[in-house]
Structure 1
Amino acid sequence: MKTERRHDIDWLRVIAIGLLLIYHIAIIFQPWAMFIGFIKSDEPLEVLWKPMTMLNVWRIPFLFFVSGMGLYFAMRTRNWKQLLLERTKRILLPFLFGIVAITTLHMFVFQLHYNMPLGYFPHQGHLWFLGNIFVYVVLLLPVFYYLKNHEKGKIQKGLSALMSHPGGPLLISLFFVIEVLLVKPQIFALYAQTWHGFFNGFLAFFFGFLLVYSGKTFWQTILRWRWLYVSLAAILYGIRYLAFATEAPGYLMAIESNCWIFGVFGFGYKYLNKPSKILSYLSQAAYPVYIIHMFVLYAGAMLILPLEMPTVLKFIVITAFTGIMCYLIYEFIIRRIGFLRPLFGLKWQVNQVANVKKLTEPTGTKNSELPEFLNLDK
């Protein structure tokens, strides 16, 4: 079944991963960076953390929402066996490969930088996100296929009616509020390998699926009320910043997180739902870049931090280094070497003529080339 191409979600996914890179680079310049396994600059730039605290409550949940949406579209052309096999190849394989061959690289750089004994240390690192998604797929597949088999039934009609009201999306926040009240995370934005991160991601993934399952009313609602959601998010962030030194009670941060997300979806739906040659390329690159970026930025930090230059310039140079090196590694190694492609979530075969053609197509990346766990055009 052919579905409408959603270029806005592709753009938002690419932008979110770009912000992730900047977020991780900003951590290098915080006094506590080494406590969470990052290389630390001797000269901090704590001012960077203020805008980062606005991002950190919604950037990861947003990607889980998008992943749930992608699963809905993928199910339209696959049965459960095909879908599970596809997710195993596109998510589980890069996840397992990354644990033994990618995350170990940035740990090696960390050990080298601090003159620590060099050791091989397989770990999830930033790839915990992929592991969580695969678990969510396995757990929720029966529920999602039940809903698929009862499409246009009472559940879908009820969801559609609920999402036609501006309070409908906000009602979802209650489930995220319940999660923080039960799990009681010490730090709301500490998602990686925590129970809070697991359950928060589970809810975002589940509701991401339900939002697109509910039909077009959700998109029409967030388009119309996007300023409301962003305004509520900004007010809650202001309260968090002024009254709580950026770490407000979890229930307030859960509501703020969802308001940012719905506002971003609304603005993206209005302004970004257009094809682009650049988007065609970036949509393919985003997944491999996500996988390799930590090693690259660690290498950049090790090389650039010792240089004599202003701290702000070091941040800029490390950011540029990370972006350029990720591009070069993707373009000239991952993308062009056939056996490496599936290890980074891409298709096995390399067709240079087809790749060149795709870069010149005005309609955007072909569906089959997008990273499966976030592909919305299925």
Structure 2
Amino acid sequence: MNRRHDIDALRALAFALVIVYHVGMYYVAGWHWHIKSPHAAEWLQWPMRALNLWRMDLVFLISGIAFGFLRRGLSPARLIGARSVRLLVPLAFGMAVVVPYQPYVQMLAQGLIDPGFGAFLARYYSGGPWPRGAFDGSDFGVTWNHLWYLPYLWLYTVVLALLSPALDSGPGQWLRGAFTRLRGAALLVLPVLPLAVYTLALWPHFPPTHDLIHDAWLHAVYFTLFLYGHWLGVDAGLWAALRRLRWIALTLAVVAFALHVGLRTMLPGTDPLWRMAARLVADVYLWASLVAVLGWAHHALNRPWPWLAWANESVYPWYVLHQTIIIALAVLLAPLALGPWWEPVALLVATALACWLITDGLVRRVAWLRPLFGLRPRAPLPRPTPASPARPAGRSV
């Protein structure tokens, strides 16, 4: 099978969007984040919402595609074991080493602790206790903050791995075939229906928490998109259909988002019925955006880009590192008073530079660091073979 470069590129670009989004979270007014810039702007809410309504859904869909490749030739037990190492080891390391600076700065900004990272760490590693709402996850004593994606992905991987016999059964293959045979309007409409059911049944009762336990609505949505990705795989017919729909899906996404904005701004947004209507339109926007992204990626990115190999190995460390780097750099840049335009540019560029320096200069080079950031061990260099003795001139083979 030829390697699908568009899927590789889309994975890297999806996580790049996550980094851009988290830089934006420092500047968007009215949205909770760990710290906020004095230059926070309300106008950022709509472009941020336009991205927020499908960015993580895309990540989980791509993760489902990857799951399909990973489970080939592996028993459920071996698959779960391998993925546990790749997901839970970086999670534990990230929670212990990378993330703690984030709640420290968050509490410092609220005046809840005195300066001194060492003293904070001693209390943090003992589990607190903390004032209620001191930082995101303070009720649990510690937090995984932006690393919540890793336990969610691990959970979905375990569930789908255990369901492998059902997926491979006759009914399971029929269901996958029903999905991969979708074309035209059916491909734009039918996958939205489960998302709409979750909105009606779960969304009013389970707001997003990212705490793994009380996140029923997001679990339903993300697991469904993870399953869609698994079914999607590299099915040539379905990818061709996505490519054909790219303009229609893009148009539908623009119209649906405009309607969503209208429902949230022009109508009585506090009314539960209007809020539900806006959320249902957001489901249409979500899926139309994913179809457009997948279709355009297959159209434009399916080629051996020279940066792909580097990007694919860099994605995981950058993901683990980026939010702590953003917060640390925001603290460093604030006294420089660069203003509402130059500071965000400097923060984004410096974040990318720091992620690159740490990943390429340290993580990828140090053998024991690689698994802590989700990287496989480096392949051993081939041993040089002894040179063959020269044959006498004129001798036949």
TM-score over 0.5 (shorter chain): yes
**Counterpart position of 1:241:** 261
Report the TM-score, using the length of structure 2 for normalisation.
0.80
Q: Aligned partners of 2:29, 2:265: CA distance in 1, in Å?
A: 16
Amino acid at match of 1:234: V
Aligned to 1:338: 367
- Aligned partner of 2:158 in structure 1 is 138
One-letter amino acid of the structure 2 residue matched with residue 175 of structure 1: P
How many angstroms apart in 2 are the aligned matches of 1:66 and 1:284?
16
What is the CA distance between 1:114 and its match in structure 2?
5.0
For 1:317 and 1:45, the matched residues in 2 are separated by: 17
Map 1:279-294 → 2, pairs under 5 A: 279-294=308-323
Match of 1:11 in 2: 9
Partners of 2:84 and 2:365 in 1: CA distance: 22
Pick one of 25, 28, 34 that aligns with 2:26: 28
Amino acid corresponding to residue 177 of structure 1 in structure 2: A
Distance in 1 between residues matched to 2:262 and 2:205, nearest whole Å: 19
Structure number with the bigger relative contact order (C-alpha 8 A, sep ≥ 6) is 1
Deviation string 1:136-170 (CA, Å, 9 cap, x unpaired) is 11112233343336599544443333x23441353
Say whether residues 1:58 and 2:54 are aligned partners: yes
Question: Does structure 1 retain, via aligned residues, the 8 Å contact 2:184–2:245?
Answer: no
Distance 1:104 1:315, change over 3 A: same
The 5-angstrom pairing of residues 113-152 of structure 1 reads: 113=109, 115-117=111-113, 118=120, 119-120=123-124, 122-148=142-168
Please say which of residues 201-210 and 149-158 is displaced more in the overlay.
149-158
Counterpart AA for 1:181: L
Aligned residue-pair number: 346
Contact 2:12 2:312 in 1 (8 A): yes
1:1-378 → structure 2 map (5 Å cutoff) = 3-33=1-31, 35-36=32-33, 38-113=34-109, 115-117=111-113, 118=120, 119-120=123-124, 122-148=142-168, 154-161=174-181, 163-185=182-204, 190=208, 192-193=210-211, 194-212=215-233, 215-245=235-265, 249-349=278-378
Deviation at 1:129, TM superposition (A): 0.8
Secondary structure in 2 matching 1:66 = helix
SS in 1 for 2:307: helix
Give the conservation status (yes or no) of the 8 Å contact 2:206–2:216. Answer: no
* CA positional deviation for 1:327: 0.8
Give the TM-score, by structure 1 length. 0.84
Once the 2 structures are TM-superposed, how far is the Cα of residue 191 of structure 1 from its aligned partner?
6.5
> What's the offset of the Cα at 1:195?
2.7
The answer on whether the counterparts of 2:263 and 2:278 sit within 8 Å (CA) in structure 1 is no
Whole-angstrom CA distance in 1 between matches of 2:72 and 2:174: 19
- Paired residue secondary structure (1:23): helix
**Deviation of 1:286 (Å):** 0.7
Structure 2 gap segments, 5+ residues each: 114-119, 125-140, 267-274, 383-397
RMSD (Å) for aligned C-alpha atoms: 2.5
Q: Secondary structure at the match of 2:368?
A: helix
* 3-state SS in 2 of match to 1:221: helix
The residue matched to 1:86 in structure 2 has which SS? helix
Alpha-carbon distance in 2 for matches of 1:142, 1:165? 33
- Measure, in 2, the Cα distance between the counterparts of 1:286 and 1:124: 18
Contact residue 23 and residue 52 of structure 1 kept, 8 A: yes
The Cα of 1:261 is off from its aligned counterpart by 0.4
Q: Are the aligned partners of 2:320 and 2:373 in contact in 1 as well (CA < 8 Å)?
A: yes
The 3-state SS of whatever aligns with 2:143 is coil
Change (3 A) 1:112 1:349: farther
Distance 1:313 1:185, change over 3 A: farther
- Of the structure 1 ranges 39-48 and 339-348, higher mean CA displacement relative to structure 2 is found in 39-48
Secondary structure of the 1:338 match is coil
**1:358 match:** none
Gaps of 5+ in 1: 355-378
